[in-house]
C-alpha cells in the first residue's frame, strides 16, 4: 500500500449554522484519480477551497506528502506541489495563453521574482510553458490573449497552468462544467492521459466522465461523505442511489 499524497482527516467547516464540511476524511494515493461527486450545494467546492488553502477548516487536518498543511497559505501549498483549477474558470484574461502558463513555470524556476530579467523573452519560462500547452493541445493558441479563448479552451488552459507547477496533486473543480460535447470529450481524453502521473481529486457532475475516469469515488451530501470506494460499488450503494444517483435515472 503506497503512502497517500493527500489525506483529509475529520475536516469540518460551518458557515454559521450550515455545516458545509461535516467530518470529511478521504485520501488520494499517488497517481490515483479520486472523484468527488454530490448534488449542488453539497460542499464540494468549499472542500476544494479548504484543501487549496483559500478557506480555513474549523477543525481537522489536511496532510500533503506527509506534512500537515492546514495552516499554510495557498501560495505555500502551491509551492509544495498542490495545484488546482476552478469551477468558474480563472485565468489572466489580458495575458497571452503562453504567459498564463508561464506563471506556473515561473513559480518553479530559480529567481522567480527577478526585478530586471525580462519575462516575455525568457526561454526558461517559455519552453516549459509551451510544452505544457502541447500536452493539452493548445500550442497553436499560445499567442492569443486568454480572454479570447472558447470556454473549452479556457478549461484546457487551466489544466496546462496546473501542469506547469509540476504538481504532485491536482484538484479539479468541475473541469467539464459548461463545456460542449465535443470539447468535453477532448477534455476527458486529456484527463485520462494524465491519469497515473498525478494524484487527482476530481469534482464532477458528468457521471459518464466520472465513471470512465475514476479509480475511486466518494459521494458528498450535505457536507458528509455518505459512501466511498470503487466506482462500481458506489454506484450500487442504495444510499447513494437514493440521495443522488437516483435523480439521474
Partner 1 sequence: MSTAPALAETVAAPAPRRRGRLLLPILLFGLLALAPLAVSLGMPSGWLALLTRAMIFAIAALSLDLILGVGGLVSFGHAAFLGIGAYVTGIMITEGQAEALLILPVVLGICALFAAITGAICLRTRGVTFIMITLAFGQMVYFLAQALSAYGGDDGLTLYAKSTIAGLDLFSTRTGFFYCVLAALAGCYALVRILVASRFGRILRAARENPVRVSVTGFDVTRIRLVAYVISGMVAGIAGFFLANHTDFVSPAFMSWQRSGELIFMAVLGGVGSLHGAIIGAIAYLIAEDGLSHLTEHWRVIFGPLIILFVLFTRGGIVGMLRKLGGGGGA
Ligand X SMILES: Nc1ncnc2c1ncn2[C@@H]1O[C@H](COP(=O)(O)OP(=O)(O)OP(=O)(O)O)[C@@H](O)[C@H]1O
Selection from partner 1, Mg ion, ligand X, none that 127 binds (CB < 5 to 8 A by kind) is partner 1
Under the criterion CB under 5 A, does residue 45 sit at the interface with Mg ion? Answer: yes
Under the criterion CB under 6 A, does residue 81 sit at the interface with ligand X? no
Q: Provide the minimum distance between the beta carbon of 16 and partner 1 in the complex, in angstroms, as a whole number.
A: 23
Residue closer to partner 1 by CB (options 29, 92) is 92
What's the chain's length in residues? 249
Smallest distance, ligand X to C-beta of residue 38, A: 6
Which window, 86-94, 102-110, 190-198, 237-245, contacts Mg ion (CB under 5 A)?
A: 86-94
Residue, CB closest to Mg ion: 45
Strands of the sheet with 169-173, listed across from one edge: 82-84, 169-173, 199-203, 33-37, 216-221, 224-229
Please report, as ranges, the residues that interact with partner 1 according to CB under 8 A.
52-54, 73-75, 77-79, 83-84, 86, 90-96, 98-99, 102-104, 106-107, 111-123, 125-127, 129-131, 134, 142-143, 161, 165
Q: Which of 27, 45, 70, 228 binds ligand X (CB under 6 A)?
A: 45
Comparing CA positions, the residue from 16, 20, 45, 21 lying closest to residue 201 is 45
Least separation in angstroms between residue 244's CB and ligand X is 11
The three three-digit cell numbers of residue 175, written as one number: 473541469
Span of 42-50, 65-73, 98-106, 241-249 interacting with ligand X by CB under 6 A? 42-50
Q: Are 84 and 48 in contact, with CB atoms under 8 Å apart? A: yes
Q: Is 38 an interacting residue with respect to ligand X (CB under 6 A)?
A: yes
Distance CA 17, CA 178 (A): 31
Q: Which strands, in side-by-side order, build the sheet including 67-68? A: 18-28, 6-15, 59-64, 67-68
Question: What sign results for the dihedral spanned by CA atoms 109, 30, 38, 48?
Answer: negative
Cα end-to-end distance, the chain, whole Å: 36
Amino acid at each position: 500500500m503506497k503512502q497517500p499524497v493527500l489525506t483529509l482527516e475529520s475536516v469540518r467547516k460551518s458557515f454559521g449554522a450550515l455545516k458545509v464540511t461535516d467530518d470529511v476524511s478521504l485520501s488520494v494515493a499517488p497517481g490515483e484519480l479520486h472523484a468527488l461527486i454530490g448534488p449542488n450545494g453539497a460542499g464540494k467546492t468549499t472542500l476544494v477551497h479548504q484543501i487549496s488553502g483559500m478557506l480555513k477548516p474549523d477543525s481537522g487536518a489536511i496532510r500533503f506528502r506527509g506534512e500537515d498543511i492546514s495552516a499554510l497559505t495557498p501560495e505555500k501549498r502551491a509551492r509544495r506541489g498542490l495545484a488546482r483549477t476552478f469551477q468558474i474558470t480563472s485565468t489572466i484574461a489580458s495575458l497571452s495563453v503562453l504567459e498564463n502558463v508561464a506563471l506556473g513555470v515561473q513559480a518553479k524556476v530559480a529567481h522567480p521574482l527577478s526585478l530586471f530579467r525580462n519575462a516575455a523573452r525568457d526561454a526558461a519560462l517559455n519552453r516549459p510553458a509551451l510544452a505544457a500547452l502541447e500536452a493539452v493541445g493548445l500550442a497553436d493558441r499560445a499567442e492569443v490573449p486568454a480572454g479570447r479563448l472558447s470556454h473549452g479552451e479556457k478549461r484546457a488552459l487551466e489544466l496546462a497552468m496546473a501542469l506547469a507547477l509540476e504538481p504532485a496533486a491536482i484538484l479539479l473543480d468541475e473541469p467539464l462544467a459548461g463545456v460542449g460535447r465535443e470539447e468535453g470529450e477532448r477534455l476527458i481524453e486529456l484527463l485520462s492521459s494524465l491519469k497515473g502521473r498525478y494524484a487527482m481529486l476530481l469534482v464532477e457532475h458528468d457521471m459518464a466522465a466520472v465513471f470512465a475516469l475514476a479509480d475511486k469515488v466518494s459521494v458528498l451530501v450535505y457536507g458528509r461523505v455518505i459512501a466511498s470506494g470503487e466506482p462500481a460499488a458506489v454506484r450500487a450503494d442504495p444510499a447513494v442511489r437514493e440521495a443522488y444517483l437516483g435523480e439521474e435515472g
